[in-house]
Amino acid sequence: YLKISKLALAFAIIHSKPPGKSSKEYTEYLAKTVSEKDFGWKWKVEVLEAEVLRLRQELLLNRISPRFCLENRKQDTSAETLLGQESVKPASCSSQLEDSGCDVCNDSAFDSLGTASDFHQSEHNVNTSKHWLERVPPLNFCHTSKEQSLTAPVHFLQRLLEIRKLSEGGILQADFSELENDSFTICNSVSQLLDGLTVFYNSPKFPSPSFLNEGVCVLISLITDTKLSNHVLKKCFKKMEEFKKNLIKIILRNRSINRFQALNSVSQMLGLLGKNNILRNSLVSLLLSEVRQFAEQLLQAHQAQSVYDITLYENMFLLCMVLEQLLQNEAQKSNISNSDYGGEEKIKFLKNLDEIILHLSDEFPLFSLYLWRVSVLLNSGQMQ
C-alpha cells in the first residue's frame, strides 16, 4: 500500500507540474511549501502552549496565596514597559561582565563563588505587600525572542520567591503544599530557566545582559531557599543534573581565544550550584571524574611523548578551582574528615594519584599542585 501511495503521489506531481519546471524542482517547491505551513502551525502551537503554562502559573500562584494574586491584578504594568526597564535584583548580581579577553578574575560580578551566601544580606527588606506588588512584573509568555523566553520563567519564579518572603514575614498566608499537587508547572518553569541559561552561556554576550544576571539570581535563590528548594529539586533533580553537565561541557569544549572571561562566569555558576547540599555531592563526583580522566590522559601523553590538548589543559584549571573551592567550603563548615565525600569517584580519583603527580610534577607543576591540594581535602576534610 505504501509503495502504491508513493507511486501515485509521484505521478500526481509529474502530471500537475507547471510548464518550465522539472519534476524535481516542483517536488522541492511543494516540500518547501508544506514545511513552511508546518512551521506556522508549530509556532501557533508554541504560543498556545505558552499561554496554557501562563494560566497554570497564575492558577498555582492563586492557590498558594489568593491575596497576593488579588492585589497583584490591581497593578497596571505592561509587559512592553517591563522589558525595557531594569528588573529589580540583588546588588550582588547587578554587575555586568567586561570583555577583557583574558581577565579571569572579575570580583565585581561574583565574590569568589560566595554570591549565594550574600543573597539574603543584599535583599531588600519587605515591609508591606504593596511595596513588592508595585514591583512585580506581569506574566507574559507570548514571547518571540530568546531573551523573553528566559524572562518569562524568571518572572514567575520571582513571584513565587516573593510570596515565600512575604509569608515568612507574616504579611501573607501561603500554602506551599500546592507545589506538590502541580509538578508540571514548576518543572516546566524551572526547565525553561535552565535551558535559557544554557543557551546564553553557550553564546555569551558582553556585557552580560541584565536578565541573564537576574536569571542566575532567581535560580540560586530558589535552590537555597529552605522551604522551596526541596519542592523544586524533588521535581527537577534530573534537569538540574543535566544543567550541571552542560555547564561542564561548555567549559571544556570552548576553544575561542577570548574565552576566559565567559568561562569564569560559567565556573562561578557551578560554584553557586555547589552551595546546595543536595546538588553538591553529585557535582563533586562529576568534577572528580573529569579531572581524573584528564590527568590519566595527560600522563599517557607525557609518557608517550605525544601531543596533548593544551586548550583542554587550560580549561581544566577552572574545574580544578571549582572543585577545590567546594571541598574547602565543606571542610570549613564541618571541620571534620569527610571520608565518604565524593563516594566512588573519590576512590577512583585517589587511586594511583601519587604516581600520576610524581610523573607530571616536573612538566606540569601547577596542575600537579592542584591534584595534590584536592587529594589533601578529600583525605583530611581541610587544608593542612
C-alpha 372 chain-centroid distance: 30
**Judgement on whether residues 253 and 281 belong to the same structural domain of the protein:** no
Q: Would you tell me the crossing angle of helices 277-303 and 260-273 to the nearest 10 degrees?
A: 130
**Judgement on whether residues 226 and 316 belong to the same structural domain of the protein:** no
Query: Integer distance in angstroms from the first to the last C-alpha of the chain?
Result: 76
Residue 340 within any structural domain of the chain: yes
pLDDT at 54: 87
**Judgement on whether residues 254 and 288 belong to the same structural domain of the protein:** no
How many Å apart are CA 270 and CA 266, to the nearest integer?
A: 6
Residue 159 within any structural domain of the chain: yes
**Judgement on whether residues 241 and 192 belong to the same structural domain of the protein:** yes
How many Å apart are CA 320 and CA 370, to the nearest integer?
A: 7
Q: What is the DSSP letter of 203?
A: S
Which percentage of the chain shows pLDDT scores above 70? 74
Q: Indicate the average pLDDT of the chain.
A: 77
Residue 309 within any structural domain of the chain: yes
Domain C-terminal end among 260, 284, 314: 260
Domain C-terminal end among 228, 260, 292: 260
Cβ atoms of 216 and 156 closer than 8 Å:
no
How many Å apart are CA 137 and CA 89, to the nearest integer?
A: 12
Residue 245 within any structural domain of the chain: yes
Please, which residues have CB within 8 angstroms of residue 202's CB and are 6 or more apart in sequence? 250
Q: What pLDDT band is residue 20 in, cutting at 50, 70 and 90?
A: confident
**Judgement on whether residues 283 and 359 belong to the same structural domain of the protein:** yes
Q: What is the DSSP letter of 93?
A: G
**What would the pLDDT profile of 117-157 be if each residue is shown by its tens digit?**
443 443 443 343 344 344 444 444 444 456 667 888 899 99
Place of cell 574545574: 319
Report, as an integer, the average pLDDT of 47-57: 87
Domain count across the chain: 2
pLDDT at 283: 93
Residue 251 within any structural domain of the chain: yes
Residue 211 within any structural domain of the chain: yes
**Judgement on whether residues 155 and 205 belong to the same structural domain of the protein:** yes
Is the bond preceding 66 in cis, omega lying within 30 degrees of 0?
no
**What would the pLDDT profile of 269-325 be if each residue is shown by its tens digit?**
999 999 888 889 899 999 999 999 999 999 999 999 999 999 999 999 999 999 999
129 in the Ramachandran plot: left (φ > 0), alpha (ψ -120 to 50) or beta? alpha
**Judgement on whether residues 239 and 289 belong to the same structural domain of the protein:** no
**What would the pLDDT profile of 248-277 be if each residue is shown by its tens digit?**
999 999 988 888 888 888 999 999 999 888
Please, which residues have CB within 8 angstroms of residue 165's CB and are 6 or more apart in sequence? 123, 126, 132
Domain C-terminal end among 234, 260, 286: 260
**Judgement on whether residues 238 and 155 belong to the same structural domain of the protein:** yes
Give 208 or 255, the one with higher predicted confidence: 255
**Judgement on whether residues 242 and 308 belong to the same structural domain of the protein:** no
Which residues in 255-286 are b (16+ Cβ under 10 Å) and which e?
eeeebbbbbbbbbbbbbbbbbbeebbbbbbbb
**Judgement on whether residues 212 and 241 belong to the same structural domain of the protein:** yes
Which percentage of the chain shows pLDDT scores above 90? 29
Supply the range of the domain harboring residue 247: 150-260
